[in-house]
Structure formats: structure tokens, C-alpha cells
Structure 1
């Protein structure tokens, strides 16, 4: 196998830390709170003198995890702010971060353990005790293991709270069937492509603040608001960096671009190959870096020689002049160039080759280890955070579906989602009869919802642990309520900063509760307590590594000679001198023998995707500034700002279709699947005629989400034509096509 990486090995390499009926009375109304970590009174003009500042917050409204302080009054959290001591996000947080207060006190939050006495998908909930819930979860999960083996369980985790239970199921129980949306529907392709090319995953904190040129391929900074990330990006622009944005849509980033490449979707790799071929043929690449660190460059040079500017212009529907302009601009500013690796890169099913091309372009420009280039900051060391021992991990490795089938050799850690679904539905090569979702909503993260539902319906047991009643909770047999990131200990966030303050510094923060919410009207528990109780009941309690999340946090901090008590004294963040991040040298596998030996092209290769059928447009999606996919849709503050997701349509197409801005429409895809909800049209010249766009995460079906239910269109419901990246097994999710429906009439989109 090409890259036989376990999750543990991968994370060590990646340094990712631096980097429905009967609902009444079952879900939360309001929570009361007091704060454990009050630092000092907070007074300001016009404020209440009894407002106090609680330190130790780490946001979880998205995965960027900004550092917070909470303003607490009469035991209630009334405001969140960025921690002024932070050298990462500083005093700034985004709209989502501010709205964490509304999540904490959301009336629809899960409140008690519940048992579904109805049907999966149409639940009727009965409140039960924790003992009853845990006994049934453990008995049913153990029953699956006893009958089918540890590989009879599948787990779909997401977020920091899922880390501890995920370790239990992988290492102790021994299931390989773990599929994280962050890997298989987001960034896994990127990470594995960079490992294959540069022997290391990328750090999204590319040194944009010090760049002379920045290139974004589909990255819409300013819409996916990750505060410190956007700060680096904006600092680079303030300092004069030239910005290239390659995107079929006039995104927030494209609005700031010096060059906006309005590319035909699915052709990005052809665009990149042509740029690299032009640089090589004109001798404008970094010869010194390539000669010293390039592997297989001659094969690479020959292999992309067909990628002329004229070929790419025809393939990508972009002028020759513009492609050349991009190439020349990159060359003129080399090596101080930020070629951003992207984040959500699961697009077309040819994505491994595109990400390999981005890594190769970075190497070709010599933009590695230099100011403005591919730089990986050197973060501080912390201790092991009370991880589970490797009791049955070998079993998990042996029963990984992609290894058994000898497919997807460059899979990210875990098992490709489609292989889990197919095995569960067919029973081949083995049965999967137990399902655990922890913080992930597979209904809205995974394409082909009917396939996911079919998988869930054949399970012997489905357990879901979450904070909100997202769509997946409708399919649970037992539903467990989890405490939020604002009311529990959790993760350690170490990191480094060098581009905003002018100094190299490192920081260590830990998530600590900003409020202690009393159990007067709920029975929520944290993931360590829940997992430990299940482990005990499954007869595996002897392997429990920590008893509480506080102990887990202190164990990790001890590795840096810190403690929770000390962090509180330091206002929630320990800052220490850092190390110079520059000077890193990486080998660049322009031709990868490892990839070639696995049966794929060792040279980055353009693989065409299906053309848009007549009368349709390609459906693409992304983030909005005020939402983090589905997890924030029920937040009343955020929903008020963007209650639904307008569908972007080219203005010339709209005129021919008789559509006006704000018209209410539905969508229907190439398989005849129609959206169950509606949205409005956004008529704009800022999108290609063959493409429509909307923000992801809308269209919740669960009536328990009283704010979000039925608002906007769920893009995932329209992704029924599957594309799977052959190297990684990750999904490509932009190969589906739609037409508009207005007042029941289907409207063709002009070619």
C-alpha cells in the first residue's frame, strides 16, 4: 500500500493541533449558570459594574477555535469576546463566535437522554434516565461486537468532543469503520496529496502576511471567516501582495483580486499544469530549488509538456492572455508566493491530482521555507491528553475495508465513507450493524442521503450524541445530550504566531468552562463521562485512561509544565518565545514513484469531469460568513442575519428564464430529485452561466430545530450522483446539475 497511515501516525505528522412528535419537555428551554473562573470585574462606560470576565474559552462554533473570554453577569453568560492576550485571533471573533451565547441558551438544545419508541426517521421520544440510556447503549453495542466482531460498528465523529470517544472505539473496541467528515468530505484529499508530494501535510496558515503574491483556488476568504487566517490574508493585501483568485463565482476574495480567473468548474488541474509548463518552458521557475530538492523533475517536465496555454484556455474557458498573466505574476514574485492549499477540497473526484498540482507549483516556485511561502510554524510541545491504550487497534487495521479491497491507498485516516455504507447495506465483506454518530450530522455532510438512510435503517442499533437535534438525531434509537464547548473542559490549543506581531511567539491555551450550567432543568454530560460509563458497561472499564475532562486537560498541560490553575493565572493563555519558522527545506516529488506504484499517474494529471447537460447548471456550494454549515443554522442570532441561502444565477440566464432577483424557487437535479424546500434567486453577473451557487447547511428537516427547520435549500439532498476520488476514497461533491422550478414549472437554464 502506498501510504499505510494510522490516524495516530497521521496526526503526529500533521501537527493538526497547531494546525419530532413528543418533543415537549424533552429539549432545553433555558439554562442557569455560574462561572468557575472569574478573573476580575469588568467595567466600561455604560456597562454594569457587576459584570465579570471569565477566561479560558476556546470557540467551537467552527473548527478554527479562537480564544475567548466570557462576560458573566448574575451567573449568566451575556457576551463573548476574543481574549485580548491572544496572539492568534486577539480581541477579534466573528459573528458565529459572538453567537455562541445563543447556542448555550438555545431553547431547542438536547436536554435529557431519550429513547425512540417510534420509527427511525419519524421518531417518538421517551425521556429515560442516564442509567437506562447507558445500559442500553452498552448492551446493544456489545451485542453487535459479540455477534459480528468489533468491525461490526461504524462511528461518524466530528469536533473536539468526539476525539475521546473516537479513541475508545478505534483503539479499545477495535473498529476501523470511522469516517470523519473533515477528512472524507473536506480536507483529507488535500492532506494526503501534500504528504505524497512534500512529505508533510500543509499548514493552512500559509505565510500570506509576508507574501508578495497570493493565489487562491476556490478559496473564498471573508465568507469562510476564520479570524486569524483572514487577518494574515488581509495583512498581506495591506502590505501590497498581488491577489489571484481562481473561481467560477465573484466571491468576496475575487472582489479584492488583481486577477479574477472565471474558470470553468472541474478544470482547475488543467489550469495549474499550463502555468507550470509555461514557467518551465520560459525558464522562469526556481531552478536552484528544483535542482537541489526536486525528485523526478525530468519526468514531470515531459509529462506536462502537452499543457500549453492554448490547450488550457480551451479546456478552462479562460483567455490565453489571462493564464499567461497569472504565470508571469507568480514568477515575478517568486519565491515569496502563497499558493494556498485550500480547505474544503472535495470537489469533482479528480481532486488528489489537483492538490498534487498545487504542491508541485509551490515547489516549482521555490516558495517553501521563505517569507510569504509554504511555512509550518514550530508550535510548543504539550503532553499526551489521556488517550486510550491500543488494545484492539491491530484488529482495526486488519479489517479496514479499503485495505481489504486494496483500494484507495492514499486514504486519509479512517475508512472511506462510501465503503462503510456499501458494506453495511450489502453485508460484504462483513456486516456493520452498530452505528454511532458523535457531533456529526451525516445526513447533511455526506452525498446521496437515501444511501445514508438505507444504511441507518438496516442497523441493529443507532446511538447519537450531540448538542442540537440535527437531522441525524431523527434516526437514533438512543439520543444522548452533550454539554457545549462553553461549559466543559476539553481540548488543548497550542500554536505559534510570527506574522502579525513582528515577533516569533508560541502559545498554549486550553478549553475551560466559561460558565457552569446547573442541572436544574437538564442532564447533559461531557464526552469523557459518557464514554467512560459506556466502557464500564461493555466490560472495558479497566482501560479507562482518565476519570474526568479536567484530569485529561491537566495531563496534557503537565507536558508543558502547566496546569489549569496556572493558565487561569495567565488569563487563559500561556505565551512563550517562539522559533524562527523560516529556513525549512522540503523534498518535492514532482514525479512520485509511490503514487505510480499504486497504479495512478506519478505526475499530476488533468482528469476531465462530466460536462454540464443541456438545460442544467453545475451545482456548487460553500460557506456563508454567519454560518458554519448546519451546526449553526438554529442559532436565532445568526439565522436572523441570513435565514436562507439565496441561489446565485447568472443575470443573462435569469433574464432569458424570466427570473428576477428575490423570486422564490426550488431546484431539481439530473436524477429528478427535487428540493423539499425553497429559497430565493440571487441574480448576478458574478457567476458563470454554467454554474449556480448557494451556501451549505440549510434545509434542516427536523422540526425540533424550530428556528432552522425548512429554511433554505439543502444542497446535499441534490447530490445524488456520486463521485469518489480514486486515490483517497473521499467524495467529490460538485458533479451534480440542477434546473430551477418556479410555481411548479421546470425552467431550463440557457447554455
Structure 2
């Protein structure tokens, strides 16, 4: 059954509450009608192909331009990540382009750091200030005293600047605060990280298991389309989530697990698969090693054992395990994206990877696929560059004492900025496109760390909270106003996509390539940026392979030759480990002193009268990056705190006047930190021991005139975290809150 544009919009709209009304569509999550929405045609005098930056997915878009303004954004049917469709965020990109609160000119701080008092200056003055301060840090402390925090595709230009500068200290919060545990776990098990987009075959899966992954509310475009296709073909969903999410509402099995007990549930599932011989014995015998140790490890991890821990009934654990095993090998355990929860996250993801191996889904249709990459050579740099790049410091912030960290830890860079750090003494930060106040745990600790800096420069489109703590703020153009590097991630069908400006930059903003190149010239490293502009950079890269730039510019994307992606298509099955075997029992973990098989360890309980704080996202918002977007805010104006309606009736302090749905409350965490007032959503769709917030709200930046003060910030309340000892991820679901009625002191 083909998925229609109408159906795809419904998938995202239902999870957004009022979004379905705003779009004029029904509220069914899986719209079953086959009638496509007619394409209204071109709304303008030209259409420019590009790829999106409203989230990291990078969907292909067509920007319709009329009289120098972008009038609408549609999905590029040629691009494999959009397939002609966009999520609500992508379609609302003009809300960012024409946001009245955008940064317009370079800013230099004229008061104490954090007071958000700036003077508008020229680009030359801002770059002179930035270059001078960076050179002073380099002269006093060395090149490696400068660190880059980055998020988004435009960060490639600043990573190149850091290479020229001579510092390897480049980190992204998306690793240690998001996806790092799964990369470590799948590398341990299969010898390779997953990367992005994840190489999974949702469309052909017969069973899809989501463990804390809110697919549908977490609008990863292609995956939501493929999930709809799979459901249309009869696939069943198994959803493990303390909250009755949109996906849970469509599931064959919903397991409302107690937060922090997922490993126990996964071990119990393995117990059933092994005991009832529902695992793929032939596959495991041929491609894996360590099965006997695994079987012995889970022999006593029965559903009855797990029930006492997870709160999920034994018959539900057993029935869902049988369903998962019965659909193998097209039984896909989704790896998730935001995977830092409790500090044992690599082991939880290890359990998920081991489960996938027992199902025989690695390398099989309906499971995990082999991805390939479009070959685009690097830009040829001159041989006589003025500075040599620094060596990769595998024993410094990259690892930070965490042996299986595969990238520099953003939290490690923060630690290395604190006085007296044993390995580094960072003195200057370049922050590109990431609001660290929303991304990092323990805001007070982060701000104290920032105060230790000699210099910080922030490059952003909006006056996000972090820009208020910078010394210099450089306004970047939105993705609709700038040319950029190509996108060519590994994928089922290799492709290369081009970003190109649809309109001229507004105000005095500049594209990232221009900022990085100009900054390099101000510090004597212009030779590292020999290209005239991003167009020339891309043309030169493509020309080395004889690829047609003009065709790419016209279509927005070029597809590479199709290659086998699974065993059914002729791709070899196996692991990229040292001996080519899937590692069920990890000798590497054992040698490092960690459990070679996942072990359930109880999590700390919260204080009496408190609820565990959980967070996620909504289909109309990319965390804090879109909360100021007026187009997206119309159907989803602010977040709410989900609270179990039965639990609300027994709240301490509310006996005389019970809490009502829609009332504003203040959340107070275990350390006394208070949120801004937020509406309470009383519902039976969440367990009674936790509450839930959509991440990104409660913004403190006053120059974000719409978002400022709306809703509550889960980041502010995340004053504690547990560090994953294997790869350094910061588990943040270890905070607890109590509720007060807004305006009433406890």
C-alpha cells in the first residue's frame, strides 16, 4: 500500500495535538485513505533544490521563491531521505528564515559575561576581536587550548578551521548526550557503529520493537514513512515505554516498563527466546560466538523474575517475546537515537544488539542493512600549508578515561575547561549551532565552567541562550540563504545532495563557509581555505570524479549505483569484528573490567513525593531549535508536563483543592531547582511514578521574544547525571521532581 502525502502529514499531526486541526486533516495516526493531496504547483518564479537543516536528517527540499522571498518548502521527490514529503518542521522552515528575532549583525559583549549586553559592530571589528583573542590564547597556552562545540552540517567549515588551527578538541553534544552508547554497543557487538541515518529496513520488517523510541513524535522523515509502509503491509509494533506514546497507541503490545529497568526486560525476552528455541539457531551458530555463555546468563532471567523489577506482567513479557521471535529475521529492534538515560546505557544498547543477533536480523531484509557511501573526494589542499594539524589525542578529552569513546566528548571538553584538569586546560571555546545550556546537564556547573574561559565566540542564527554568555556573537545565515558542502552519508542507496541558497542572506548575516574562511584569514591561516566560495569548493570536489555539478544543482541530488544491502540481495552477512563473528559475549569488555554480558543493576529511587523526570520531543519541534518558530508554535505553542491522573489525586499539598488539567504548576527537582510555570496534562497515558516534558522549552534568552519563559525546561531541572563508564555518555533520566501549584510556595 503506497503511502500518500496526506497520510504522512497525519502521522506527525496526531502526535502534536492541535497540529491536525491546523492542517485541516483528520486525527487518525495511520490515515487509511488512498487519496493524495493535490500538488498546488510552483508558488513563485523559480524553485531551488537544497537539503534541510531544521534537524540533522538532511531531507531534500524544494524552495519556492517569488519576488525574492521563499513562499513555501516542499519535499524533493528525487531525494531518498524525503521522497517528496516533509515533516512539519521542514515545511515550516520559512518560520526560521523570517523569524523577527534573528541575529542581524555581529555583536561584541560590553558587560559581564552572562548579562547579555552587546554592541552591534562590523564584521571586520568582530573578526578582529575574535582573531586577536584566539591568537592570545594560542600564544599563552598553545593551539590545543581552543575547543569547538558543533552541531549541524555547517560545522564542517569550523572543523576544518580547527584542523588548520592545530587543535583536535572538536566535540558535538549529539555524541555523549545522545547517540554515543548505541555506537559503542553496536561496535562491540557487530564491529561497526550505526551512524546516521541508521541502516535499518523498517519498510520490510514484520515486527518493529521500539524501546523508548518515540517514532512518530520523533519525526525522522524517512523512518516515519517506512514505518507507515510496514504497518500498511501488516507489520506489528512492540513498544516499551513508561508513556502511552503515539506509537504505543498503534502497537500490538505496549509494555509500560518502570523507568530504568529496560535491561531486565531485555534479558527476560532473551530468556524466552532461548528457552523456547525461538532464536535463529542456524544464524547464531554460523555468524556469532558466545551463545553458550549468553544462554547460561539468561537462564534464570525469567519473565517472573523481570515482573518484580519492571512491573510488566509475566504473560505480557512472554507473549511479546514470542511475537518478536516469531517474526524473525524480519524482526527489527530499533536502536533508538537519544540513548543516554541512566549511566548503564552502553549495556542496555548491548542487550538490544544481542537481541537483534538472536533474531538473525543483522544483514537481513527487514532488519539491519549494509549501507554504502557516494564517493566524493576531499578538496585538494596545497602541499605547503603554514601549520600542521595536531595529532588525534586518543588519551585526552576524546576518551577522558572512557576506553570505548569513539568521538571527543562534549562533556569531556567541559571538564577540561575546569581549572586543574589533569590532561588539558582549555581556555577558549568556539560554539557553532548548538545551545549548550539546553544540551548539557547541570546548568550551574556549565555556566561556572564558561566563566573560567578567557574567550568564547558563538556562531548562530538565533540569539539562543548560549549566545548571551559569549564574548563575540557571529550571525549565520539560515540554510535557505547559504551554499554549503554536499551531504553524502552512508545509506541504503548512496547519494550526494547539494545545499544551495534560495535567497540572498538577510540583514548582515553570513554563511558558515564565509565566516570560517574570514576567521582563518584573520589569524594567518587563509591558505587552508583556498576556495573562492562554497560553490567552487563543491565543484572542485565533484570534478575529481567527473560528477556533473549543474545536474546536481538542478536536481538537488544524484543517486549512486544500487548495491546489495542484505543477504537476500547478495550482500555478505557477518560482523566487522576482529574475527568476523558477532560478539554475544564481549571479551573486549571483560578485558577492560566491565561485564561481558549485560547485567541489570537497580537504579536509585527518588525522594518521597517525587516523580522521575523523563523527556522527549514533539513532531513539530526539533528540541530548542524551533521553539521560537511562529509557524510551528501555532499548533504547538509550549510544552506541558504529563502526570498520571490517578497519581495527581494523591499529591501532597493538593488535598484541599485537587489539581486540575491545564493548571500551571512549578516543578521542583531533588536539589531545589525550580522550573518556570508549565501547564499540567493529567492523563492515564503515563505511569504514576514519572512525569514527561517535551525538551527545549523554558528558554531564558530574552531576545527570543516568543519562546522566552514559555513552558518548562527539563535541562534546567537536570542538575544530576550518571556517566556511562564505558563510553562517557551523560545519563540524564536520574532526576526527580515534585509539583507545586504556580504562585504558591511550598
Same fold per superposition (TM over 0.5): yes
For 2:159, which of 156, 160, 166 is the aligned residue? 166
The equivalent residue for 2:673 is: 673
The equivalent residue for 2:122 is: 129
1:744 Cα shift?
Answer: 4.2
The equivalent residue for 2:519 is: 534
CA deviations 1:188-240 (Å, max 9, x no partner) are 11112111111112252411111111100011111111221101111111111
CA deviations 1:388-421 (Å, max 9, x no partner) are 9996554441662365x6x11111311x333332
Q: Call closer, same or farther: CA 1:399–1:303 in 2, change over 3 Å.
A: closer
Contact persistence 2:430–2:457 (CA under 8 A):
yes
For 2:45, which of 33, 36, 52 is the aligned residue? 52
TM-score (norm 2): 0.89
- Mapped to 2, the partners of 1:560 and 1:649 lie a distance apart of 56
The equivalent residue for 1:17 is: none
Name the SS for the 1:397 alignment partner: coil
For 1:512, which of 500, 503, 506 is the aligned residue? 500
For 2:456, which of 446, 451, 462 is the aligned residue? 462
For 1:181, which of 173, 183, 197 is the aligned residue? 173
Q: Call closer, same or farther: CA 1:386–1:255 in 2, change over 3 Å.
A: farther
1:491 Cα shift?
Answer: 3.3
Contact persistence 2:45–2:67 (CA under 8 A):
no
Q: Which runs of 5+ in 2 are unaligned?
A: 1-36, 575-580, 652-657
Q: Call closer, same or farther: CA 1:392–1:618 in 2, change over 3 Å.
A: farther
CA deviations 1:591-641 (Å, max 9, x no partner) are 111122122111122232212322101000001111101111111111122
Name the SS for the 1:302 alignment partner: helix
The 5 A counterparts of 1:603-622 are 603-622=597-616
The 5 A counterparts of 1:213-362 are 213-362=207-356
- Mapped to 2, the partners of 1:624 and 1:311 lie a distance apart of 35
- Mapped to 1, the partners of 2:177 and 2:411 lie a distance apart of 11
Q: Call closer, same or farther: CA 1:196–1:612 in 2, change over 3 Å.
A: same
Contact persistence 1:463–1:478 (CA under 8 A):
yes
Is structure 2 residue 559 aligned with structure 1 residue 575?
yes
Q: Call closer, same or farther: CA 1:461–1:81 in 2, change over 3 Å.
A: same
Q: Call closer, same or farther: CA 1:168–1:353 in 2, change over 3 Å.
A: same
Comparing 62-71 with 600-609, greater Cα deviation is found at 600-609
1:550 Cα shift?
Answer: 1.3
- Mapped to 1, the partners of 2:39 and 2:598 lie a distance apart of 60
Q: Which runs of 5+ in 1 are unaligned?
A: 1-43, 499-504
- Mapped to 1, the partners of 2:537 and 2:726 lie a distance apart of 36
- Mapped to 2, the partners of 1:479 and 1:444 lie a distance apart of 18
Contact persistence 2:381–2:528 (CA under 8 A):
no
- Mapped to 2, the partners of 1:645 and 1:667 lie a distance apart of 13
For 2:64, which of 51, 67, 71 is the aligned residue? 71
TM-score (norm 1): 0.88
- Mapped to 2, the partners of 1:534 and 1:62 lie a distance apart of 26
For 1:104, which of 74, 77, 97 is the aligned residue? 97
CA deviations 1:651-694 (Å, max 9, x no partner) are 1012233111101111000011111x111011110100001001
For 2:79, which of 82, 86, 89 is the aligned residue? 86
The 5 A counterparts of 1:363-402 are 363-384=357-378, 392-397=388-393, 400-401=396-397
1:386 Cα shift?
Answer: 6.5
Is structure 2 residue 573 aligned with structure 1 residue 585?
yes
CA RMSD of aligned residues (A): 2.2
1:377 Cα shift?
Answer: 3.1
- Mapped to 1, the partners of 2:615 and 2:284 lie a distance apart of 36
Contact persistence 1:496–1:578 (CA under 8 A):
no
1:179 Cα shift?
Answer: 2.4
Q: Call closer, same or farther: CA 1:453–1:497 in 2, change over 3 Å.
A: closer
Q: Call closer, same or farther: CA 1:290–1:79 in 2, change over 3 Å.
A: same
Is structure 2 residue 108 aligned with structure 1 residue 115?
yes
Contact persistence 1:386–1:545 (CA under 8 A):
no
Q: Call closer, same or farther: CA 1:463–1:576 in 2, change over 3 Å.
A: closer
- Mapped to 2, the partners of 1:721 and 1:249 lie a distance apart of 22
- Mapped to 2, the partners of 1:575 and 1:599 lie a distance apart of 45
- Mapped to 2, the partners of 1:255 and 1:355 lie a distance apart of 24
Contact persistence 2:486–2:538 (CA under 8 A):
yes
CA deviations 1:515-554 (Å, max 9, x no partner) are 2236xxx221122221122222222223335342112222
Is structure 2 residue 429 aligned with structure 1 residue 435?
yes
Name the SS for the 2:650 alignment partner: helix
- Mapped to 1, the partners of 2:544 and 2:254 lie a distance apart of 47
Q: Call closer, same or farther: CA 1:381–1:617 in 2, change over 3 Å.
A: same
Contact persistence 1:168–1:388 (CA under 8 A):
no
The equivalent residue for 1:417 is: 410
Contact persistence 1:336–1:372 (CA under 8 A):
yes
- Mapped to 1, the partners of 2:450 and 2:457 lie a distance apart of 11
The equivalent residue for 2:17 is: none
The equivalent residue for 1:695 is: 694
Contact persistence 1:245–1:259 (CA under 8 A):
yes
Name the SS for the 2:701 alignment partner: coil
The equivalent residue for 1:565 is: 550
1:577 Cα shift?
Answer: 4.2
For 1:489, which of 483, 497, 503 is the aligned residue? 483
1:140 Cα shift?
Answer: 0.8
- Mapped to 2, the partners of 1:324 and 1:46 lie a distance apart of 47
Q: Call closer, same or farther: CA 1:385–1:682 in 2, change over 3 Å.
A: farther
The equivalent residue for 2:578 is: none
The equivalent residue for 1:543 is: 528
- Mapped to 1, the partners of 2:496 and 2:694 lie a distance apart of 34
- Mapped to 1, the partners of 2:60 and 2:598 lie a distance apart of 39
Contact persistence 2:617–2:623 (CA under 8 A):
yes
Comparing 375-384 with 720-729, greater Cα deviation is found at 375-384
Is structure 2 residue 734 aligned with structure 1 residue 735?
yes
Contact persistence 2:176–2:411 (CA under 8 A):
no
- Mapped to 2, the partners of 1:386 and 1:188 lie a distance apart of 31
- Report how many aligned residue pairs link the two structures: 689
Q: Call closer, same or farther: CA 1:378–1:431 in 2, change over 3 Å.
A: closer
- Mapped to 2, the partners of 1:393 and 1:328 lie a distance apart of 54
Contact persistence 1:115–1:477 (CA under 8 A):
yes
The equivalent residue for 1:27 is: none
1:262 Cα shift?
Answer: 0.2
The equivalent residue for 2:27 is: none
Contact persistence 2:497–2:558 (CA under 8 A):
yes
- Mapped to 2, the partners of 1:622 and 1:564 lie a distance apart of 40
The equivalent residue for 1:449 is: 443
Comparing 548-557 with 624-633, greater Cα deviation is found at 548-557
Name the SS for the 2:319 alignment partner: helix
The equivalent residue for 2:23 is: none
